[in-house]
Amino acid sequence: MKSLKTVQVLFKIAKVISQIVFVCCVVGFCLCVVGIVSLALGAPVLKLGGVTIESFLADHTGLSNGTLYASLAAGAIVCIGMGVTAKFAVRYFKREQADGTPFTHDGAKELQWLGILSICLPLGAQILAQILHEILAAVLPDVGPLDMDFVGSVSLGIMLIVTAQICKYGADLAAAKEEPAAVEEPAVMEAPAATEETEV
């Protein structure tokens, strides 16, 4: 079917995008950690043209050292949440490609879980990032406010949950088509009662 081939191509593209997002999250997490370590070890000491990296960053980014620490720490946590979600997405799309159709009961159930995780994991990561930011704001001086928005992950999760219900309905229709029609058993005729032979 032409429409099924189109769906498979779209799901294949979604799998590639999920893999790219996962790799970007891993790279982003590593860069955040490297940034935190670099700020802690080198920013106050290393100099470029007689200017420390700490003062250079403050002058060119407009962010204080405490704000950079808090932002990098929050970014690392958000990257973990998004990376785990992307990994589950890759696993689902691989399963769908192996099944050859999204209209299976197991696939629909996994897609529904993916939708729930798409809401819970990024939201949980952002809440943790906000808590960590508040802790660092109490410890470090001049920590700026942290502006985070999780509406996108909630919208994506709801969309995946709705799509899972559509896939489940399609799986139900496919299962109903494949069920053999019930064959009615012919009525069994009762043998006539044996009559006694009369003596002549």
Given pLDDT bands bounded at 50, 70 and 90, which one contains residue 138? confident
Q: What pLDDT sits at residue 182?
A: 43
Distance, in Å, from the CA atom of 95 to the CA atom of 83, rounded to the nearest integer, reads: 19
Dig out the tokens for 198 from the structure: 């009369």
Per-residue pLDDT at 189 exceeds 60: no
Q: What pLDDT sits at residue 139?
A: 78
For tokens 């769906």, name the residue.
7
More confident residue, 195 or 130: 130
> Mean pLDDT across the chain, nearest whole number?
79
104-131 pLDDT, tens digit per residue, is: 899 999 999 999 999 998 888 888 888 8
Per-residue pLDDT at 195 exceeds 60: no
Least confident of 116-125, 175-184, 191-200: 191-200
Q: What pLDDT sits at residue 92?
A: 93
Contact 33, 79 (CB under 8 A): no
Distances (CA, A) of 24 to 10, 11, 73: 21, 20, 17
14-28 pLDDT, tens digit per residue, is: 999 999 999 999 999
45-98 pLDDT, tens digit per residue, is: 555 555 555 565 555 566 667 777 788 888 898 899 899 999 999 999 999 999
Distance, in Å, from the CA atom of 133 to the CA atom of 143, rounded to the nearest integer, reads: 8
Given pLDDT bands bounded at 50, 70 and 90, which one contains residue 191? low
Q: Give the up-direction half-sphere exposure of residue 64: CA atoms within 13 A in the CB hemisphere.
A: 11
Q: Give the up-direction half-sphere exposure of residue 149: CA atoms within 13 A in the CB hemisphere.
A: 3
Per-residue pLDDT at 183 exceeds 60: no
Distance, in Å, from the CA atom of 83 to the CA atom of 155, rounded to the nearest integer, reads: 18
Helices (H) and strands (E) in the chain, counts: 5, 2
